[in-house]
Amino acid sequence: MTAISDLEAIEVGLAASEPMRLEGLSSIFEHQPPGGVAKLRPVVGTLEELLSNKTIEYIVIDWSSSSKKLGILEGIRRERPNLRMVVIGPDSTDEVIMKTIIAGARAYLDLSAGPPMVRQALEAVIAGSIWAPRKILSKLIDRLLSGEESSLTSARPHLTTREHEVLQLILLARSNREIAVELGIEERTVKAHVGKLMRKIGAENRIELSMRALSGSFVPQSEEQHCREDTIP
């Protein structure tokens, strides 16, 4: 897990309807990271109780007995847009994972996932990443940009193939250097692509870029921005 300057324990909400499931989820906190890395502290409660606690920024939700998960997630996203959620559910199809992430989750795991995998997903989400296979992220970006989701705005930027690849890796919390190595391009070229993505999607930093890309809240470029971008070598 990435070191965090503020070493106060990070509170993580745990919501599960079954005591046995809750006990299993609680075990992910048994092994804490070494010194220099923030510890994770579980906060157990009902979903309503956890959502009313404004100090909690991360939450693990077990959907084993819920049949209205997407609507609930969309409501949570509207009320607590900065809350990062790890969802565990009974289905594991690509479509379910994509819809769950579009609805507001930052990770989706099926019920077979053990505590170690849940912990990995949680740490990835805390680090600012998305826990999902690359192919699903690619499909997700395509869907968001194509306007298939009715909840999205009408302003949809056009991304080049390379920008699409860079955005996928940003959503996986890759650094500019890591993106450059993976795509076989210069780091300064990656930086230029990131700058263009921020302008096209209307974000001021990488975290906002990820959030806007996943939520579909795009900001259209002005004609001046289009002209300025066209002059960049």
Q: What is the pLDDT of residue 156?
A: 63
Which class for 59: exposed (0-12), middle (13-18), buried (19 or more C-beta within 10 A)?
Answer: buried
pLDDT for 6-18, tens place per residue? 457 889 999 987 8
Mean pLDDT, residues 68-76: 81
Q: What is the pLDDT of residues 177-226, one digit of tens each?
A: 999 999 999 999 999 999 999 888 888 888 778 777 766 655 544 433 44
User: What pLDDT digit, counting tens, does each position of 103-126 carry?
Assistant: 888 899 988 888 888 888 998 888
Supply the pLDDT for residue 24.
83
Q: What sign has the CA pseudo-torsion 183, 209, 74, 55?
A: positive
Residue 37's pLDDT band, with cuts at 50, 70 and 90, is low
| Angle between helix 161-171 and 206-215 (nearest 10) | 100
- Please tell me the pTM assigned to this model: 0.65
**Residue 72 near residue 86, CB atoms below 8 Å:** no
Copy the structure tokens of residue 231: 């002059």
> What pLDDT, on a 0 to 100 scale, did the predictor assign at position 217?
56
Structural domains in the chain?
10-131 (3.40.50.2300), 135-230 (1.10.10.10)
More confident residue, 127 or 54: 54
Instruction: Label residues 188-226 b or e (16+ Cβ within 10 Å = b).
Output: eebeebbebbbbbbbbeebeebbbbbbbbbbeebeeeee
Q: Who wins on pLDDT, 221 or 61?
A: 61
Mean per-residue pLDDT over the chain, rounded: 78
